[in-house]
Amino acid sequence: MSGGAGVSGEAGSVPDTAPVVVLISADPRRSHRANEAMRIGLGVVAGENDVTFVLTGPGVHLLDADTDELVDGDDIARFRANLRALGIPFHVEADAIPSDADWNADRHEVVPITRERIAELVRQGRRFLAF
Amino acid sequence: MPTVLHLIKSADAALARTVIEQHVDAGDRVTVALLPGGAAPALPPGVTLRRVGSDLSYTQLLDLIFQADQVLTW
């Protein structure tokens, strides 16, 4: 299982209408996994599922302005634009948000959240994919 | 009482611990299966820790996966 996404089964206590949670902590400056996570999450959205995207740790660099510095930067820019057009926000670990003024230059909707809130989202999700 | 299985395969399990604590607080029955290379976080009381390859075989792990209401992989 190493290198793959962590995918949860469905909890008996979680309603079918609960969102799918896509948690991205992989560093898009060093790994293809962050882009793959966003692409897969977008695919789940296309299946008319409610999806909550959560960025933690170095995963927050998916919103860096300079996509040339990112692995798969062109794809990241395209998927980001698709998600923004769909009005899907990124829930971002508040402590991991960079102070760099160029971060999230596209003004994608961002919801800063605590680690405890992230844990709540994961626990309440219908499915959970961790990258 | 839902049964929750956390599979930990990474060295950083800080967020997993927070989720585990919430599961325990909610009254869920929680088991943590530590895969080779995974680091066990400090676990709250009541959580069962199993080490795959040591005190848990892969066959037994498969049984735990099918018995669980929810499986989360970290």
Quick one: pLDDT at residue A2?
A: 38
HEC letters along chain A? CCCCCEECCCCCCCCCCCCEEEEECCCCCCCCHHHHHHHHHHHHHHCCCCEEEEECHHHHHHHCCCHHHCCCHHHHHHHHHHHHHCCCCEEEEHHHCCCCCCCCCCCCCEEEECHHHHHHHHHHCCEEEEC
pLDDT of residue A4: 53
Task: Give the range among A8-12, A101-105, B14-18, B65-69 with minimum mean pLDDT.
Answer: A8-12
Which chain A residues are Cβ-neighbours of B22 within 8 angstroms? Answer: 116, 119-120, 123
Write out chain B residues lying below 8 Å of A26, CB-based. Answer: none
CA distance B67 to chain A (A): 11
- Gap between the Cα atoms of A41 and A84, Å rounded: 13
In this prediction the ipTM stands at: 0.78
pLDDT band for position B61 (50/70/90)? very high
Q: What is the pLDDT of residue A12?
A: 54
Task: Report chain A (131 residues): mean pLDDT per 10 consecutive residues.
Answer: 55 74 96 96 93 97 95 96 96 95 93 96 92 93
The reported pLDDT for the residue numbered B13 is 84
Check the CA dihedral A67-A54-B45-B69 and report its sign.
negative
Contact present, A114 and B22 (Cβ < 8 Å)? no
Does residue B46 sit in helix, strand or coil?
Answer: coil
Check CB contact of B71 with chain A, cutoff 8 Å. yes
Give the three-state DSSP class for B25.
Answer: helix
- Which residue has 């995974």 as its token pair? B38
Assess contact for B34 and B56: CB atoms under 8 A: no
Residue of B nearest to A2 (CA): B9
- Interface size, chain A vs chain B, as Cβ–Cβ contacts under 8 Å: 61
Q: Which is the CATH superfamily of the domain at A20-126? A: DsrEFH-like (3.40.1260.10)
The shortest C-alpha distance from B38 to chain A (Å) reads 10
Check CB contact under 8 Å for A119 and B2: no
What residue numbers bound the domain in which B9 lies?
3-73
Residues from chain A that touch B23, judged by Cβ atoms under 8 A, are 123
DSSP assignment letter at B56:
B
Among A96, A117, A18, which residue's Cα sits nearest to residue B19? A117
Give the burial class of A102: count Cβ atoms within 10 A of its Cβ; 0-12 exposed, 13-18 middle, 19 or more buried: exposed
Rounded average pLDDT over B7-30? 92
User: Is residue B24 scored above 60 in pLDDT?
Assistant: yes
Instruction: Name the domain count of chain B.
Output: 1
Taking the C-alpha atoms of residue A28 and residue A64, their distance in angstroms, rounded to an integer, is: 10
Domain locations along chain A:
20-126
Asked whether the predicted pLDDT for residue B47 surpasses 70, the reply is yes
pLDDT of residue A89: 97
Say which of B19, B35, B65 has its CB closest to residue A122.
B19
B64 pLDDT above the threshold of 50 = yes
